[in-house]
Structure 1
Amino acid sequence: METQIGSIQSPQPSSPANAETAPSHGFFSWYRDITANERRTFWSCKVGYALDAMDTQFLSFVIPTLIATWGISRADAGFIGTATLLTSAAGGWVAGILSDRIGRVRTLQLTILWFAFFTFLCGLAQNYEQLLVARALMGFGFGGEWTAGAVLIGEAIRAQDRGKAVGMVQAGWAVGWGLAALLYALVFSLLPAETAWRVLFLIGLLPAVFVIVLRRLVKEPEVYTEHKAREAQASEKTSFAAIFSPRLISTTLRAALLTTGAQGGYYAITTWLPTFLKTERGLTVLGTGGYLAMVIVGSYIGYVTSAYLTDRIGRKRNFILFALGSMTIALAYTHIPVNDTVMLLLGFPLGFFASGIFAGMGAFLTELFPTSVRGSGQGFCYNVGRAIGAFFPFLIGHVSQQMSLGHAIGIFAAAAYGVLILAALTLPETRGKALEA
């Protein structure tokens, strides 16, 4: 049996993830203490998430080319992004259920193959409708990969270092984002734009090769295999609907509010800030490689810092700290007069806080749910937040017809992060919680 949600167990020596050893105090000393299998799991999840981010970010770079080549509107281009987010939410939940049924590693393999294949198909699209369908199907695997990878690494690493390890895996997103930017610059410098955008998507098939590594090197977490053995012995299976049982429903709903706040705030800031700063402030630095590099570097350092802090000061305090930082940045961007030089520098804290808040999410959701429905619970909560958050850009655009765009961004960002803070305050602190089969 799993311990009651929110309780803190003393570590169990039977599993590497729960081994009773002293906490790691150095920034990366935890990595030296983990086993070879845990290191393979860590790097497999990190590389998988970076490749996921790379394939996902290709679209943002080629939208101007698609508008010029096919003559589609900005609304049409934006709808591709919205469709991808909504299907990724569905894919994340399905992958969570699958990871409880067929295993964390196998689900991770399937989701990587899925998003790589449909990214490749995007490069073969002959019209807008075909690209929309291929990209939406790609989103199904994109959302699923996060869920499967987060559960896998969360179960593989010992309790006292789980936050650092899962957060460092999450930092792979910034690496993939940067890789997408570099590939975009390289491909578009060598080929004409009408061909280059297709080549960029075709490159997206390469992550499929990574599945061979996963099949050979990565094993299921011990806590999961022990649970499946006991489940088979008892001849009974737990339904994914158990996350809505009287025992777990309160945790499920509050965790969903937490992720909704994080993702709603992120989409509110990142979707509309460039438009606001270009149209109402007349800034030109937003479209430059220097500004993008500043945001990406800030994101990576934010992920790493948050990963360390979530084990150091606790999950809840870390969420609140980064939520307050994100709110401050949103208000600074929309209410303080700035020039291009100041805006370039502000790209760093924007990436740092808005992205870094997600580093603690995987470990926290892993610890909130029992092993039998850990994937289902994590997949549902994170992706409900993604689905609801996807509507924030639309709502801001609608409300901005009645007030300034800057005020609309500030209101929605503050509301989103306020919801996150309230949810964090009501949820149990899980730092150091051991996972049991």
Structure 2
Amino acid sequence: MTFTSSQPEQADPEGLRASRKLAATIDTMGFTRSHRLILLLIVFGVFFDVIEQNAVGLVGPALQESWGIGAGQIGLLNSATFFAMTIGGIVSGALADRFGRRNVLAINLLVYACGALLCALAPNFGLLLIFRTIVGLGLGGELSTAITMLAEFSPTRFRAAAVSTLNVAGGGIGNFLAPLYGMLIFGSLAPLLGSSENTWRWLFGFLVLPVVLIVVFRRYLPETPRYLLAKGRIDECNRTLTILENGRLVPRTRTIPVKRFIETSGAIGLTPEKVRISEIFSARLRRRSIAVSTTYFMLTAGQISILTLMPTILVSQGFSIVAGVGYTAVMQAGSLLGALFAAVIGSRFKRRSVIAVSTIGAACSAIAFGLFATTTPTVLGLGALFQFFILMLNTTVWAWLPELFPTRIRGFGTGVVKSIGGLGAVIMTPIAGFIFDAWGLSAIFATVGSLYLLALLASRFGPETAGLSLEELNEEAEIGRR
């Protein structure tokens, strides 16, 4: 793909004033009822995304039983999903910067819902692999766009908490409830769903339900004011700010009295029609992009490998499929606590400090699990501790991503960095499966612990962004140097 642009050569004092005014308006407004409703809508979609990400791990033992495949092939299914997520994140990021965050969010919901339905109907492993790729395209695009949207809607004081809440509902509650969803399908509902060897199909099929959100998104979800200002759509920007201040979402077609928060003559030159991927790695952005991409690569490689293999690991140790999924659910309680903890402390502590604590904790608990998880209490306790630290880490990095880039390329930049990081899951998940098949439990957790220590090292090269507005971090330098 080629995304080209031309940059204005002169400084833009009018754009600088408008950017500062927007930042001050959003920060003064605080987190209103409209912000909370927007957060709820976006979080609801991401919740189902995370259930969908867990789906392969949940059906893994059943697929092994029905189709006779190994842990490596289960890992390959997740690799296909996450490889497509990298593509979806990049493409959707570019489209979100061009056509708007809200529209792209709705399109990605439709793509992944259609993919889920196809997975439920897959007749063999090969087609299931293809259909998981379709799911991944939608998942990757929606997650990147959702992170960007929440960062742009939020006041500085609440930005980390808002984006972290996205992962509380997704990575925390979603990861916690996903195994319970699996238990419901393979346990209580199984007798009602027909042939036992096809029960796993219903697990995919019910994940089509979020498609109903598309209608709500199209009707009520506004575009972010930062995007609208960058595009020079001043009237729409003021309308969105009015909606945020009034605390009530209204249909797009309804006429409302609009308060003139921003006064400027037109486009302020922040969002080009096209961008280059090389801009993400330009002189000003290169270090941060590489540092956070590498951090995210390592944490995703470790997290998704364990999420995918945990039910299979427990079944290999003598637990039944339902018990293995159930124990995974208990361990995922740590995910919820970790995401909640990160959301609470995100506005009080530096990003890099939280990342340092969580990577060290994740590495130590992973190694401890591999060495000492031999009884049910130690499996559950060390598993929950591991999940606590990885969700604390993941949530903090999610808050970090959209803070790295100016509005004109924020969607694209977030998508690119998140997608590069997501390659960790693509590459590592099948490798983790083969490591487990060949060398067992201790080897896989020692490998995962090493990945988190590498994430700690990479994060030290990233910028500290806590406590600064998006405009202070990016827009003022972006406009002022022209």
Partner of residue 38 from structure 1, selected from 35, 39, 45: 35
Structure 2 partner of 1:181: 182
Cα deviations across residues 224-266 of structure 1 (Å, max 9, x unaligned)?
1101118956594351421122222222111111111211222
Superposed displacement of residue 67, structure 1:
3.3
- Label 1:16 to 1:212 Cα distance change in 2 as closer, same or farther (>3 A): farther
Q: Does 1:59 align with 2:62?
A: no
Q: Per-residue displacement from partner, 1:295-349 (whole Å, max 9, x unpaired)?
A: 2221111111111222111211111111111011111111236422222222321
Whether the 8 Å contact between 1:187 and 1:200 is mirrored in structure 2 is: no
Q: TM-score of the superposition, structure 2-length normalised?
A: 0.78
Output aligned runs, 1:89-128, within 5 Å: 89-128=86-125
CA deviations 1:157-187 (Å, max 9, x no partner) are: 1111111111111122233341533652443
2:213 aligned with 1:216 = no
Q: Distance in 1 between matches of 2:163 and 2:298?
A: 20
Which of the residues 141, 145, 148 maps onto 1:144?
Answer: 141
C-alpha distance in 2 between matches for 1:72 and 1:278: 15
Higher mean C-alpha deviation, range 110-119 or range 93-102: 93-102
Q: Equivalent pairs: percent with the same residue?
A: 27
Q: Is the 8 A contact 2:56 2:74 kept in 1?
A: no
Deviates more, 1:57-66 or 1:427-436: 57-66
1:322 maps to a residue whose letter is: S
- More displaced stretch, 336-345 vs 128-137: 336-345
Superimposed CA distance per residue, residues 113-143 of structure 1 (whole angstroms, 9 cap, x where no aligned partner): 1000110111222233222211111111111
2:286 maps to a residue whose letter is I
Indicate if the aligned counterparts of 1:251 and 1:368 stay in contact, CA closer than 8 A: yes
Aligned to 2:244: none
1:17 and 1:274 map into 2 onto residues whose CA distance is 48
Secondary structure of the structure 2 residue equivalent to 1:374: helix
- TM-score after normalising by structure 1: 0.85
* Preserved contact between residue 303 and residue 359 of structure 1 (Cα < 8 Å): yes
Kindly name which structure, 1 or 2, has the bigger radius of gyration based on alpha carbons: 2
1:197 aligns with 2:200: yes
Distance in 2 separating the partners of 1:128 and 1:264 = 23
1:265 aligns with 2:302: yes
Q: Does 1:19 align with 2:22?
A: no
Residues of 1 paired with 2:65 and 2:353: CA distance? 46
* Superposed CA offset, 1:183-208 (max 9, x none): 52443242232443333322222111
Q: CA deviation at 1:358?
A: 1.1
Pick closer, same or farther for the CA change 1:74–1:258 going to 2, 3 Å.
Answer: closer
- 1:425 matched to 2:422? The reply is no
Instruction: Give ranges in structure 2 of 5+ residues lacking alignment.
Output: 1-7, 12-18, 234-265, 476-482
Match of 1:368 in 2: 404
- Residues in 2 aligned to 1:91 and 1:197: alpha-carbon distance in whole angstroms: 26
Unaligned runs of 5+ in 1: 4-10, 22-32
Residue matched to 1:355: 391
Alignment correspondent of 2:126: 129
CA-to-aligned-CA distance 1:56-106 (integer Å, 9 cap, x gap):
333332333333334444443332222111111211121111111111111
The CA deviation at 1:271 is 4.7
User: CA separation of 1:16/1:128 partners in 2, compared to 1, >3 Å: closer, same or farther?
Assistant: farther
* Residues 116, 135 of structure 2: 8 Å contact kept: yes
Question: Which 10-residue stretch deviates more, 383-392 or 327-336?
Answer: 383-392
- Cα 1:16–1:36, aligned 2, differ >3 Å: closer, same or farther? farther
1:399 touches 1:408 (CA, 8 Å); kept in 2? yes
Asked whether the equivalents of residues 288 and 461 of structure 2 are also in contact (C-alpha less than 8 Å), the reply is no
Match of 2:210 in 1: 207
One of 346, 359, 379 as aligned partner of 2:382: 346
Q: Is the 8 A contact 1:263 1:389 kept in 2?
A: yes
Cα RMSD of the aligned pairs, angstroms, is: 2.9
Cα deviations by residue, 1:399-430 (Å, 9 ceiling, x for unpaired):
6799x545533443233222221222221110
Q: What is the distance in 1 between the residues matched to 2:437 and 2:71? A: 18
Tell me the matched-pair count: 415
